[in-house]
Amino acid sequence: MLRRCFLFLSLFAASLTMSAQEEQLDSAYLAQIDSILVEYERQKKQEEVEKVIRQYEELKLKKEMSFKTDGTLALARGLLLTWTDHHFINHPAQFERKGDGRNWAAYAVGGMPLVANWALKAAGVESRSKWERMLTANAMALGISFGATEILKQTVREARPDQTDLHSFSSGHASFAFVSATVLSREYGYISPWVTVGSYATATTTQLFRIKHNKHWMNDLYVGAGIGAISTNLGYFLTDKIFGAEYINKPEVRRRDVMRLMQFNEQPSGFTFVVGTEIGDRKIRFDDATLKTGAAISAGAELSWFATSSVAVELLTRVVDAQVKAFGTDNTFTGGHLDLYHFDAAAKLSTPLNLGQRMGTRFFAGVRVMDGDRLTDGTKTYTIPNETKFELGLGVVYECIDTNNYAWGFTADYYHTFSHYMKNRYSISSVWKILF
């Protein structure tokens, strides 16, 4: 406003002297008037730009303070598996005992993002929230998560795979790990998309530890993950309601964010972290029994390179862990694990749906490596062999750019392996993608 007053006063003063200097209306004087008008237009445009930026930042702050639904998909997946796999879960089998139920090493891995969050804050790195706000949100997230998992453990009383106790449902380790990951993503995800992807990769590692140590079923892990993420988002939402706009660092418009959005629509080459569930053929038949697997947890990575805005080539990897039990026998056999490893190359066709969203389909081919196991009742043994077989597949991919400028979405893939063992498999996965 002061700048505008100054400009108008300059023009007014020039007009007052014009009558006394009419004979001096030469090109130099007109150039002076023109420069004043140019400066006025420049400042006017700058003020308009600043107004648009302020409005956009206010919208970003409003979105940041709204309730985020992260975790609902994992929770729904876990509840669905609780229903579809109840026959497998309730079938008797004694899995090997590997340590006690607490497994503090898994807690340590799951808590790494939370420790990193507090360490960054203590080092003075600017985060989403000031100390008062962050500690309140973190305390709420941990309290809600711990309370929900303990209520379920004491109410459901589901036996662990190794039969050590009746506290399998739901996974406290997974819940804590996803609280930890979601906190770090909420506070420092703006720095780099690697922060969010790395934190959720750590949480998924905790899930894999728990299933490999025979402490949980698949549904326990997904329900726990959903509770952890939802509890954190609920904790932040309630904290935002309490504090309002105080003690929060408002999001800023950055040029790199705009450029990344443009890149996502033009050529979104990048690295993708994947975690999901693999289902499909689950039976391995023997003469007198059938070995069955539950729904399997899968995790992996993808590298994609776009030759054009729509055509890409990809390298895909997956590691899959499925628990195995023996059915159709009078004796109780030990439980086991079936590990599958997928290594594939894909051709993908992807097209933008609108600004910030893409949908695509892909065809892939590669090999599946199966690491078998042995199930025994002490006298008889069933052996699942190791093998490496050629496979083909087809899938669909949906991706959406996030405010922290990683892309999230899902994949649904079908695998056909040229093997006698579980040759038709389906994978449904969540993805987090970092653009190159």
Report the amino acid identity of residue 150. E
Which residues, other chains included, contact 220 with Cβ-Cβ below 8 Å and sequence gap of 6+?
78, 158, 168, 169, 170, 171, 174, 210
Query: Is pLDDT above 70 for 419?
Result: yes
- Residue 430 pairs in a beta bridge with 275, 410
Paired tokens of 166:
């009746």
Q: Looking at residue 229, what is its pLDDT?
A: 96
Question: Helices (DSSP H) in 189-254: which residue ranges?
Answer: 193-212, 218-243
* Residue appearing with tokens 């093997």: 419
pLDDT in tens, 229-262: 999 999 999 999 999 878 887 777 777 777 888 8
- Contact between 216 and 161 under an 8 Å Cβ cutoff? The reply is yes
User: What's the burial of 207, exposed, middle or buried (CB within 10 Å: 0-12/13-18/19+)?
Assistant: buried
Any residues with CB less than 8 A from the CB of 362 and at least 6 apart, and which? 314, 346, 347, 348, 349, 394, 395, 396, 397
Which single residue is written with the structure tokens 């025994």?
376
The share of the chain scoring above pLDDT 90, in percent, equals 67
Q: Tens digit of pLDDT for each residue in 364-412?
A: 999 999 999 999 998 999 999 999 999 999 999 999 987 667 889 999 9
Torsion, Cα 396 397 398 400, to 10 degrees, reads: -170
Read out DSSP for 117-170? HHHHHHTT---SB-HHHHHHHHHHHHHHHHHHHHHHHHHH-PPPTT-S-S--SS
412/436 Cα distance (integer angstroms): 23
Residue 101 phi, psi dihedral angles, 5° rounding: -70, -30
pLDDT-derived band at 84 (thresholds 50, 70, 90) equals: very high
Q: For residue range 173-205, what is the model confidence (pLDDT) as tens digits?
A: 999 999 999 999 999 998 888 999 999 999 999
Q: In angstroms, how far apart are the furthest CA atoms of the chain? A: 119
Helix count and strand count (H, E) for the chain:
11, 12
In Å, how far from its chain's centre is CA 215? 24
Domains of the chain as residue ranges with CATH: 2-57 (no CATH), 69-252 (1.20.144), 260-436 (2.40.160.20)
Q: Does residue 254 sit in helix, strand or coil? A: coil
Is 13's pLDDT higher than 60?
no
The mean pLDDT value for 38-46 works out to 75
The pLDDT confidence band at residue 23, using thresholds 50, 70 and 90, is very low
Tell me if 234 sits within 8 A of 180, measured CB to CB: no
How far is C-alpha 13 from the chain's CA centre? 62
**Side-chain half-sphere exposure of 430, counting CA atoms within 13 A:** 18
Does the pLDDT value for residue 62 go beyond 90?
no
Q: In whole angstroms, give the CA distance from residue 337 to residue 209.
A: 13
Hey, is 101 helix, strand or coil? coil
The two three-digit tokens of residue 82, written as one number: 């609780």
Joined together, the tokens standing for residue 226 give 């959903």
